[in-house]
Amino acid sequence: MATGFWFQKHFHNVLLISGICSEHYSSHSFRIGAASTAARLGISDQTIQVLGRWSSQAYHTYIRNNLNDLRQAHAQLSSI
C-alpha cells in the first residue's frame, strides 16, 4: 500500500533524477494542481470539495488563478 510518506519519498527521488529541485514541490502540489484545474474547467465548488475530501472551505486556498485568465478578465473589464 502506498502511504503518504512512501509517495513523498518516491516523488522527491523522481524529481531529483529528472534534474528538478525537489524543495519547491510536495505531495500538496498535486492537490493544488487538481483543485486549480477543476476550478478552471468550471467544476462546481461542491464537487471540488468532495473530490479533495475537504470537510471545510479550506480547498479555496488551494485554487490558484491562471495568470492568463486574470489578464483576460482585466482586459474585458477595462473595455466596458
Buried b (16+ CB within 10 A) or exposed e, 20-50: eeeeeeeeeeeeeebbbebbeeeeeeeebbe
| pLDDT, tens only, 16-56 | 999 999 888 888 888 888 999 999 899 999 999 998 888 88
| Reported pTM | 0.62
The pLDDT of residue 18: 95
Would 65 be classed as within a structural domain? Answer: yes
**What are the CA-CA distances from residue 18 to residues 8, 22, 63 (Å)?**
15, 10, 26
- Which range of residues forms the domain containing residue 59? 28-80
Would 4 be classed as within a structural domain? Answer: no
Would 48 be classed as within a structural domain? Answer: yes
Would 8 be classed as within a structural domain? Answer: no
Total structural domains in the chain? 1
